[in-house]
Amino acid sequence: MKEEQLTAYLKGAYRGRQSTIKSAELERVLHMSGTDLRKLVNKLRRKSVPICSGRDGYFYAKTAGDIIRTIRALRVMIKGLQAAVDGLVAALDKFEEMPPQPDEKGGGGGV
């Protein structure tokens, strides 16, 4: 239900990067936390729903350029996360005993 509600709301009222809604406002409208909103946006994007975001908030893509800009921003985030993982891997050298390696599929706790 929330998937359809979010998609319809953005598509109807916030189409294109010139028309955005801040996360806090969207959370209030949909009665959900920021964490739940981000999870929902991620789920919809995985289903090819063109929900974009920028400094000013979320919006439904109006052009291919909207999507490309969001993809670029997500790729920057990926690089930052990979750098954090690499730093933590390097930090393991400072410990005498090595615990079991975390699996690569994302198991084993939070960020």
Tens digits of per-residue pLDDT, 73-110? Answer: 999 999 999 999 999 999 998 887 766 777 766 555 55
> Number of structural domains, the chain?
1
Kindly state whether residue 99 falls inside one of the protein's structural domains.
no
Per the DSSP assignment, residues forming a β-bridge with 58 are: 21, 53
Domain-embedded: residue 50: yes
The mean predicted confidence, pLDDT, of the chain is: 91
Task: Report if residue 79 sits inside a domain.
Answer: yes
Range of the domain at 23: 2-85
Task: Kindly report, residue by residue over 25-83, the tens digit of the pLDDT.
Answer: 999 999 999 999 999 999 999 999 999 999 999 999 999 999 999 999 999 999 999 99
Place of tokens 């109807």: 12
Token pair 């005993």 is at which residue?
A: 97
- At 39, which CATH number? 1.10.10.10
Q: What b/e readout covers 53-73, taking b as 16+ CB neighbours within 10 angstroms?
A: beeebbbbbbeeebeebbeee
